[in-house]
Amino acid sequence: MNPAAFRTFTGAAPGVANVQKFWIAAARLQANAVKAALRYNVEALDFVRHRIEQDIKLFDDLSSSDDMKDAFDVYAGFMEGAIAEYSGETSKFASLGSRIASETADEVRREAQAVVDDMAAGTVA
């Protein structure tokens, strides 16, 4: 659409500008949701990569152990580390979720304030 024609159209129907702003705000919120999902994926994939490396190390250590006591110690150490790391990762995910929720709430507040400001400016004019 021709920008001049769009300005003429929105000047003739002021509500159209508000609809456009609504859709832009909706797109921003969707972009934030996708960004949040990608941040979760990055965190999860980093953790999975690390755990797989630890699994490989476990099998290397078990295959190189000479007796049952040594193998038991290797496996016990692996399990102790895994439990601690899974617990820590759960905490990271909770923290990440809280931070993303806070950022989303801030974005919604800014968008709502922009709509209120635009409506107030339209009322004055």
The whole-angstrom separation of Cα 20 and Cα 3 is: 14
Q: What's the confidence (pLDDT) of residue 113? A: 83
Regarding pTM above 0.75, the answer is: no
- 41-62 pLDDT, tens digit per residue, is 999 999 999 999 999 999 999 9
> What is the residue type of 30?
Q
- Measure the CA–CA gap between 42 and 91, rounded to whole angstroms: 16
